[in-house]
Amino acid sequence: MWPTILSLDAPAVVLLWQGLLAWTVSAALGTPEFVVLGCSVWLAYAADRWIEGWRLVPGTIQTHRHRFHQQWRWPLAALWAVVLCLDLATAFRGLPPSELRAGGLLLAAVMVYLFSHQLIHRNSRWRAPKEVCVAALLGAGASLFAAARPGASLHALAIPLALFVLLCFSNCALISVWENEVDRSHGQTSFALQFGRAAALSRVLPWVIVALSFCIAVAGGKLLRVPSFCACASGLLLGSIDLVEPRIGRMMARVLADVALLTPAVPLAIRHFG
């Protein structure tokens, strides 16, 4: 449970997909790009859970991650400030101006999301589903530095990026189904609570991704083969976890749903050590 409680799962997923997307478009990324992205994703997730833990009454908290962020509020705030300083120092010292500008735009989008979903539109029935917003922001983060590299092929990036965004949305949508009662107890709107047929769509989507990714891997050419097979494997794992969720419980299913998106680790390890 600790990677989820400490908000380390999302940075791991995004960093691996950043590496895979950069490999796909032959964009050589340096250490600063990985440090900045990893720190930024952690900061966003930790801030979201910190705010949620601050708002909730202790007796209503249903998850370990929110309880941890409430009980360790001020030590986590201090750690958050340290990571923010590291993030900013690395960005200003190691990133070229084009990447800094692109990162600033994405930072603005993340801030709008946090203020909207946690403060302004928290209880609005008609707000944009958080699962859609999170998937779009994670996709933007994973592709940002690769797309900003001179000569990067945005056309080659489009399909692998779309598959990753679909996987992120599928992951978040399934979690919203498993944690339906948690969100209701926390007074939090989710995809499952907003839309009547969300559960059925969420449970079908991983298998749609499997079929779509397999077709792209077979027919899309050599460039798309590795990211498509990674997406196919992740979709298969997500769908399988959903099938066994009633037996293993929502907490374990949530952990495994994030592990399911770590499939780029295999080809990246083979490339690095092979």
Each residue's pLDDT tens digit, 43-95: 999 998 888 888 777 777 778 888 898 889 999 999 999 999 999 999 999 99
Q: Per-domain residue ranges for the chain?
A: 2-273
The pTM for the full model equals 0.92
Mean pLDDT, residues 237-257 taken together: 95
Mean pLDDT, residues 260-270 taken together: 96
Mean pLDDT, residues 16-28 taken together: 92
Mean pLDDT, residues 122-137 taken together: 79
Q: Does 19 have pLDDT greater than 90?
A: yes
What was the pLDDT predicted at 156? 82
Q: Which of 102, 122, 242, 104 has its CA nearest to residue 170?
A: 242
- Mean pLDDT estimate for the chain: 89
Band of residue 106 on the pLDDT scale cut at 50, 70, 90: very high
Query: What's the CA gap between 260 and 132, in Å, rounded?
Result: 19
Q: Does 122 have pLDDT greater than 70?
A: no
Band of residue 124 on the pLDDT scale cut at 50, 70, 90: low
What was the pLDDT predicted at 123? 60
Of the chain, the percentage scoring pLDDT greater than 90 comes to 61
What was the pLDDT predicted at 114? 81
Each residue's pLDDT tens digit, 142-192: 999 998 887 667 778 999 999 999 999 999 999 989 988 777 776 677 777
What was the pLDDT predicted at 34? 96
Band of residue 121 on the pLDDT scale cut at 50, 70, 90: low
Q: Which of 173, 189, 176 has its CA nearest to residue 135?
A: 173
Q: Does 28 have pLDDT greater than 90?
A: no
Band of residue 31 on the pLDDT scale cut at 50, 70, 90: very high
Each residue's pLDDT tens digit, 189-207: 777 777 778 788 999 999 9
Q: Does 266 have pLDDT greater than 90?
A: yes
Mean pLDDT, residues 97-105 taken together: 90
Residues in contact with 230: Cβ distance below 8 Å, sequence separation at least 6, in sequence order: 20, 263, 264, 266, 267
What was the pLDDT predicted at 262? 98
What was the pLDDT predicted at 126? 62
